[in-house]
Structure 1
């Protein structure tokens, strides 16, 4: 039984293949089209999934779409009616698009499948639709290592639901509590993302990263005017401050007046106000998540918790939830946003619609999230020669030794190995790596390699067996979705003068023995590296530890700001030649910047629109 899951037409479109209950492949369309957050039909991703499964289109038994377009249209139409005559301009702009395309997505999807995969197949008879939050819940529970668990999903909005609680048992999964639009924790966070001058559905992680530079000075103001949080974690928003129901912006003039002025202009200088706003909305988010979790633990008695939906990418809130020890175990879907809906749609169809049994794995069944394309050494070398690259081909031992010595020398290194990761995090398959002990590497990577805002932190990849010796964490975190503090014995004391610093001035103070991955509040977004899921990355870090005594590397995604993570050897070579990455390892091929032709150099800063 082969099921193709599809997420599309909003943002982060993706496809996945489930064969006889096994997750075979999954990828986001942006990695192929090179368009960040590509919302279009995932044609390239779907074709990749079929290749990975060695299938032809006729072998696909079902195609399952991750939400129900008609229910979404119903919500949008009823919302406009409820707020009329406000929002007429937005209504006039959106209705023709809905009536022309989105309302008839069964026909649109069937025609697109014909066009992209094969026109001799009756795709309409194989097409099914899931509910948005059920797709999220299925993506969280079915790949988890739990026979039984509570499942909490939180995002902007699906059809009507913005937050849901489900219970999973074996192959069963049922939703029994929901919060509905327009009351949405995800949209509240996105409103502050917009107001802080960042892009909605893209810049929320920047707000999270900015929060430690500020103080939650607006916390009481937010809770007094914008959101009413109940003790059970349910909440109600005061919609008079927001415009997302009917307008073309997230917030309105009342919101501006409440926080002392208009929204920050994108790319303008960040001020203390944005930092304090970030700290405040982060505190609100954590309060809601913790109260919801406490209520779930009390009312369901479940000892395991699964998380999905865009809010589950808030790894700071996840870390605090873990430290509360409300549950014995927590598992978070690595592609928690809409891309992961493709996985949930396919697995939900297999277990719920077809009532097929579920296999439970001791870790999980996401395979470390390494579900994307991989390239043989022969394919790598052919691609590099075509691109005009100069490289050597080394044995595993020599390659790892050369990379480790380059790390110790302070070089930034492109590391492309094995299958590409599914989800927003680079996990040692498509990564830029560096020495975390360097006090200058964080600034160097942000300004000269990633071309992004200087305040943004980098994550540590640490050997799973050593994590508790460096971080206040002794828990698997393979998907970089938990934040923990560096342990006190690795922290560096601050002078009295340094403790008085505010805002961005905190940035240049080294706070630990691994300053490149220690945020201004001593925290880090930890990835634990396991020898079973990524043996080569594990060997690399082990060799670095052997040479330095440090089992940690800086790990950031292999891309520049606004660019999707690299997918192919050609993508990696272009990024290598357009940035100040000094060494590139693709498979067993090693490329040194000084060996390359100057004709291959390019100005990479302007290649992609800023995210």
Structure 2
């Protein structure tokens, strides 16, 4: 069956009826939209005139990774950050009203049990296989008038309990993904591709962003999902779905390459124009993949699966660019977290520039829903996303209180960057806590663990002291923009949010030895010179070491989400082998 016709994916309204709802008669420059997402990795975002004022996910506030459900804590946090009251919100924007999502809104225990099973948080039990089969079948059922009414009633009731009486606007799952990428890209025109598991019975879409309007060209059926394919691979490798897909990509680097004509997985997913075809639906696909794994070592199985994405995603994007006629590309959806595939997309001759929304998975749907609703109802054109420091900030007094409560001796540093840079030069492991919490899965210089990037032995120290990563999973570097051409081969444009891989140069292979993969690639954050405290630190590190880069990984202990508050940073410091905590203007050293 060819790709679905352009238009709605069960929640939004197609072009003939006006994309996401009828336009309001009057446009105000002060409309404030609260975007919410109440699935796995739930969260909220406040957006005004296309500018994201605040955004955070529940996991940062509950301490439970990928926490799901109605994001009450995130809503409270966003209102507090922006300094507004519930009554100031003009519109609540939400997404996804397929049958499965609607069911779990009214029966959250089913959601919790299902995600505990998928993420290996509980023993599977005798009915596990049948539960997963049933969930996949229900997820393939698109939304309809009944599911929309039921979802709307549930969200309105929960919002009312928080004092939110604004109307609720509904956006399709992939329309929200597409809006997050298009409106944050800064592009006047772009080809927009979304790819994930299944949402509103779809697994992907191709749209065109032009003249401030997002128009869908085609959609990919849920049964033909690249995301479900890779989730199955993750599960079969005894890893956690929705969390460990990056480990599969890392494990693939250690395989002896399998020739394409001997890779049976390439026959399972193919690209035809702007459509993806899978030979079987999710349930039978899992059994087929299990049969293949039986015949191959784990690392070769991971390689073969990664090879599927590295061939099929660029092929789809290339066809999408031809169909849309726009050489700039935007990507969103969970599959867009595959940085190796993104590297190949940027390298396509037909691609002039690439933007990947930093919170590309479902955790970013709150922003996407708000931007989609604002674009349709208030003619928002979008604003280039310069920073993802969109969460809470903490004052010096709050930081000092947390340090005093923990009984940690500390002092105020008058030359914080220089002092920390010298410690990095000497091989110390640093906890770096500055400014607002980052939005999304990456630490980008506000809630980071830092170390020298050129000492391979530091990886083992980090794993023993803090991260407890599997041996084959690499760390990543943050690099000053002025040093990027020296370390990254074919460097063309800054990648601010660690959303793409790059090949390293000979100098880069030496300077980034502790922060790169065995295949010579790395997933860097490119930091603009002079852009803030983190850039100041990197400049100081360059003066000390000759390398304008650090190893940068998220500040958390294995199994926990990235820290948000000073108290959480202090807890990680006390429970880990980190040498120094640089928090606000204060320095804390292990005795």
Query: Normalization by structure 2: what TM-score?
Result: 0.85
Is the alpha carbon distance of 1:578 and 1:484 closer, same or farther for their aligned partners in structure 2, counting shifts above 3 Å? same
- Give 1:88 shift: 6.5
Distance across 1 between alignment mates of 2:190 and 2:387: 20
Tell me what 1:210 maps to.
251
Instruction: Give the stretch that moved more between structures: 140-149 or 448-457.
Output: 448-457
Distance across 1 between alignment mates of 2:482 and 2:370: 34
Distance across 1 between alignment mates of 2:180 and 2:134: 35
Tell me what 1:588 maps to.
585
Distance across 2 between alignment mates of 1:539 and 1:401: 9
Pairing 1:104–2:165 present: no
Tell me what 1:506 maps to.
none
Deviations 1:513-547 (CA, angstroms, capped at 9, x unpaired): 43101211111111101246x51000001011011
Pairing 1:236–2:259 present: no
Pairing 1:567–2:558 present: no
Distance across 2 between alignment mates of 1:394 and 1:70: 55
- Give 1:300 shift: 2.1
Is the alpha carbon distance of 1:345 and 1:476 closer, same or farther for their aligned partners in structure 2, counting shifts above 3 Å? same
Tell me what 2:66 maps to.
37
Tell me what 2:517 maps to.
519
Which of the numbers 528, 531, 537 marks the counterpart of 1:530?
Answer: 528
Pairing 1:358–2:381 present: yes
Aligned residue runs from structure 1 range 309-328, under 5 A: 309-328=333-352
Is the alpha carbon distance of 1:404 and 1:93 closer, same or farther for their aligned partners in structure 2, counting shifts above 3 Å? closer
Is the alpha carbon distance of 1:574 and 1:218 closer, same or farther for their aligned partners in structure 2, counting shifts above 3 Å? farther
Pairing 1:251–2:286 present: yes
Tell me what 2:211 maps to.
170
Tell me what 2:160 maps to.
114
Tell me what 1:500 maps to.
none
Tell me what 1:447 maps to.
464
Aligned residue runs from structure 1 range 192-211, under 5 A: 192-211=233-252
- Give 1:21 shift: 2.5
Which of the numbers 365, 368, 374 marks the counterpart of 2:387?
Answer: 368
Pairing 1:147–2:170 present: no
Which of the numbers 532, 548, 552 marks the counterpart of 1:551?
Answer: 548
Tell me what 1:81 maps to.
none
Aligned residue runs from structure 1 range 15-34, under 5 A: 15-34=44-63
- Give 1:562 shift: 1.2
Distance across 1 between alignment mates of 2:135 and 2:350: 46
The answer to whether the 8 A contact 1:13-1:28 is kept is: yes
Instruction: Give the stretch that moved more between structures: 291-300 or 214-223.
Output: 214-223
The answer to whether the 8 A contact 1:315-1:525 is kept is: yes
Which of the numbers 446, 459, 479 marks the counterpart of 2:497?
Answer: 479
> 3-state DSSP class of the match of 1:330?
strand
Which of the numbers 158, 167, 177 marks the counterpart of 1:136?
Answer: 177
Pairing 1:8–2:38 present: yes
Distance across 2 between alignment mates of 1:421 and 1:574: 19
> 3-state DSSP class of the match of 1:150?
strand
Distance across 2 between alignment mates of 1:89 and 1:210: 29
Is the alpha carbon distance of 1:219 and 1:259 closer, same or farther for their aligned partners in structure 2, counting shifts above 3 Å? farther
Deviations 1:121-163 (CA, angstroms, capped at 9, x unpaired): 535xx11211000000000001111111110100011112111
Deviations 1:414-434 (CA, angstroms, capped at 9, x unpaired): 001111111101000110000
- Give 1:548 shift: 1.4
Aligned residue runs from structure 1 range 321-400, under 5 A: 321-352=345-376, 354-358=377-381, 360=383, 364=384, 366-395=385-414, 398-400=415-417
- Give 1:367 shift: 3.4
Is the alpha carbon distance of 1:222 and 1:43 closer, same or farther for their aligned partners in structure 2, counting shifts above 3 Å? farther
Tell me what 1:273 maps to.
297
Is the alpha carbon distance of 1:177 and 1:464 closer, same or farther for their aligned partners in structure 2, counting shifts above 3 Å? same
The answer to whether the 8 A contact 1:480-1:526 is kept is: yes
Aligned residue runs from structure 1 range 260-299, under 5 A: 260=294, 273-299=297-323
Is the alpha carbon distance of 1:351 and 1:183 closer, same or farther for their aligned partners in structure 2, counting shifts above 3 Å? same
**How much is the aligned-residue C-alpha RMSD, in angstroms?**
2.7
The answer to whether the 8 A contact 2:392-2:564 is kept is: yes
Instruction: Give the stretch that moved more between structures: 287-296 or 378-387.
Output: 378-387
Is the alpha carbon distance of 1:387 and 1:219 closer, same or farther for their aligned partners in structure 2, counting shifts above 3 Å? farther
The answer to whether the 8 A contact 1:31-1:565 is kept is: yes
Is the alpha carbon distance of 1:185 and 1:228 closer, same or farther for their aligned partners in structure 2, counting shifts above 3 Å? closer
Is the alpha carbon distance of 1:72 and 1:29 closer, same or farther for their aligned partners in structure 2, counting shifts above 3 Å? closer
The answer to whether the 8 A contact 2:251-2:472 is kept is: yes
Query: Normalization by structure 1: what TM-score?
Result: 0.82
Is the alpha carbon distance of 1:224 and 1:28 closer, same or farther for their aligned partners in structure 2, counting shifts above 3 Å? closer
Is the alpha carbon distance of 1:489 and 1:225 closer, same or farther for their aligned partners in structure 2, counting shifts above 3 Å? closer
Distance across 2 between alignment mates of 1:67 and 1:563: 27
The answer to whether the 8 A contact 1:467-1:474 is kept is: no
Instruction: Give the stretch that moved more between structures: 443-452 or 455-464.
Output: 443-452
The answer to whether the 8 A contact 2:265-2:308 is kept is: no
Aligned residue runs from structure 1 range 76-87, under 5 A: none
> 3-state DSSP class of the match of 1:40?
coil
The answer to whether the 8 A contact 1:219-1:281 is kept is: no
